[in-house]
Chain A
Amino acid sequence: MATVHTPSMEPATVRRAFDVERVRRDFPILEVRHGGRPIVYLDNAATTQKPRHVIETIQRYYTRENANIHRGVHYLSQVATDHYERAREQIARFLGATVGCEIVFTRGATEGINLIAQTYGRKFIGPGDEILISHMEHHSNIVPWQMLCEEKGSKLRVVPITDDGELDMDAFGRLLNARTKIVSIGHVSNALGTVNPVRAIIDAAHAAGAIAVVDGAQSAPHMPVNIHAMGCDFFVCSGHKMYGPTGIGVLYGKVEHLEKMPPYQGGGDMVLSVTFEKTTFNILPHKYEAGTPHIEGVIGLGATVDYLNDIGMDAIAEYEQNLTRHGTQLLEEIPGLRLIGTARDKAGILSFTLDGVHPHDIGQLLDEDGVAIRVGHHCAQPVMQRFGVPATARASLAFYNTKEELDTLAAGIRRVQKVFA
């Protein structure tokens, strides 16, 4: 292994220059060949690949450290508990949370948003209140709020987007009002790549007396995130989209909210004492983690942020920006290709349509070249409606992708056009 990871490594003082060939060696799956060709994996917005350090950490957990946590007096249970809680601290620091108890583990971004809607939402939202989202949200940042509005007689309002796929900030200003109780916005759109001005949105929400929720599923893997500097009330993300295990996600909540909210689920670990007359809930963050958690997932995610810190999120963001520029240029040169999502501030997501070729057929033919992309509505059907397309083809990048891989993508698209000419 080319990279040396010391588990407690903090953002290094001296960092090597970003070297894509070196990081590619950290991802065993990139060696897989299909039909005699390497796989060009450009479906990173759906899920990302896992570095060896994460895979080995999980393997070590099961081979040397496995036990249930928070309840054993024995050696293995203490080791597992230590590693689990240390991972919480590492993840808190990685995301810029102030204290570890602000970090609650969930199954993913989806469960995080549902948790907020079902606890904070059910307690503090009432008839006539408004929840403000945007037209570019993933279904997971739409449906939980719709369900809450239905139950409470509150109203879901939607910030429109421009033809470039940017938030219409003037409209946002008009829609925000004294009845707005929650503003919930995606940091980066998974369908368009747009990076939203979350800081300005959060400040405006607070000025209007609302709380701000940020869906960071597509930002945490690709740029430095500092929740404290951002100032949001809640932040969610998914481990599997940030090079970590599936089935684990992070919910950040401000202590003042987490203290006041009711628990999400009842069970073991979330209680201090139980009698049939009265149950006392556990302290933060355990109050929100009922039952045996995804221990392997948490420890694996701890290893993931270690790995990312070692490379540096700044370096990752800068490299991906260069890659995105290269990819955008290549796609823009293809006649008959329409990029969907051309915001000024964009992450590595290239959504497009081709004249006369349905996205499913694009995806199918690219697969033959070993190029993995996603086709469909990307769980963002309102975005498809906004741009008047049934679906798009989407190439989504990660820091282990190369310019050469994007050249392969572009050549593949031109071949698709020939087949359908």
Chain B
Amino acid sequence: MSGSRALYEQVILDHNKNPRNFKVIEDADRKIEGFNPLCGDHFTVFLKLDGTTISDIGIQGAGCAIAKSSASIMSSILKGKSVDEAKELFDRFHAMVTSAPDAPLDEAALGKLAVFSGVREYPIRIKCATLAWHALLAALQGENQQVSTE
């Protein structure tokens, strides 16, 4: 077993320590909280939309290093992306973290998100990695409430 070092990539530790876009957007167009009742982790995603483009994104909340860095990395790559592109990234990310540990990685398509490939060895952490993403997806679909991973 490669051990958890593969899980805690330096990039993940860095985003955990210095999360990007951790701010409240007062005049957000969409705001939704993702909650994992199993561990109490919770992140709120704030979205500013300019037509179909994500013009700004803010994150608030608390959770483990995987959940927090995933929220941070998500926020840093989505700014300026269209709603459709964001949904497509969600699908790609979700398919990757739920794939078999030895499945080939499309690093080009995943970009920075590939750092979470270590999660595939630890199925229990998939929910951590996708928590903020689930909130984002619900926000993009126009919901304005709490989503739960359960």
Would you call B8 and A419 a contact (CB within 8 A)?
A: yes
CB within 8 Å of A: which of B48-106? 62-66, 68
Would you call B40 and A377 a contact (CB within 8 A)?
A: yes
Residues of chain B lying within 8 A (CB to CB) of residue A357: 65
Would you call A358 and B5 a contact (CB within 8 A)?
A: no
| A187 CA / B5 CA spacing, docked (Å) | 40
User: Given A358-B65, A390-B40, are A364 and B13 neighbors across the interface (CB < 8 Å)?
Assistant: no
Residue of A nearest to B41 (CB): A390
Select which of B4, B17, B125, B128 is within 8 A of A368 by beta carbon.
B4
Residue of B nearest to A381 (CB): B40
CB within 8 Å of B: which of A399-421? 419-420
User: Given A377-B40, A419-B8, are A35 and B1 neighbors across the interface (CB < 8 Å)?
Assistant: yes
User: Given A360-B128, A420-B16, are A390 and B39 neighbors across the interface (CB < 8 Å)?
Assistant: yes
A-B contact count (CB 8 A): 46
| A419 CA / B7 CA spacing, docked (Å) | 12
| A364 CA / B41 CA spacing, docked (Å) | 16
CB within 8 Å of B: which of A326-381? 357-361, 364-365, 367-368, 376-377
Select which of A367, A376, A377, A391 is within 8 A of B4 by beta carbon.
A367
| A384 CA / B39 CA spacing, docked (Å) | 11
User: Given A376-B39, A384-B40, A390-B40, are A358 and B64 neighbors across the interface (CB < 8 Å)?
Assistant: yes
| A357 CA / B7 CA spacing, docked (Å) | 15
Would you call A390 and B62 a contact (CB within 8 A)?
A: yes
Residue of B nearest to A375 (CB): B39
| A367 CA / B3 CA spacing, docked (Å) | 9
Residues of chain A lying within 8 A (CB to CB) of residue B108: none
Residues of chain B lying within 8 A (CB to CB) of residue A359: 64
Select which of A358, A365, A368, A420 is within 8 A of B63 by beta carbon.
A358
Would you call B4 and A364 a contact (CB within 8 A)?
A: yes
19 additional A-B pairs beyond A360-B128, A419-B13, beta carbons within 8 Å, are A35-B1, A358-B63, A358-B64, A359-B64, A360-B39, A360-B64, A361-B8, A364-B122, A364-B125, A365-B4, A367-B4, A368-B3, A376-B38, A377-B39, A384-B40, A390-B41, A420-B13, A420-B16, A420-B65
Q: Can you report 19 A-B residue pairs in the complex whose CB atoms are below 8 A from each other?
A: A35-B1, A358-B64, A359-B64, A360-B39, A360-B64, A360-B125, A361-B64, A361-B65, A364-B4, A364-B122, A364-B125, A368-B5, A376-B39, A377-B39, A377-B40, A390-B40, A419-B13, A420-B13, A420-B16
Chain A residues with CB under 8 Å of chain B are 35, 357-361, 364-365, 367-368, 376-377, 384, 390-391, 419-420
Chain B residues with CB under 8 Å of chain A are 1, 3-5, 7-8, 13, 16-17, 38-41, 62-66, 68, 122, 125, 128
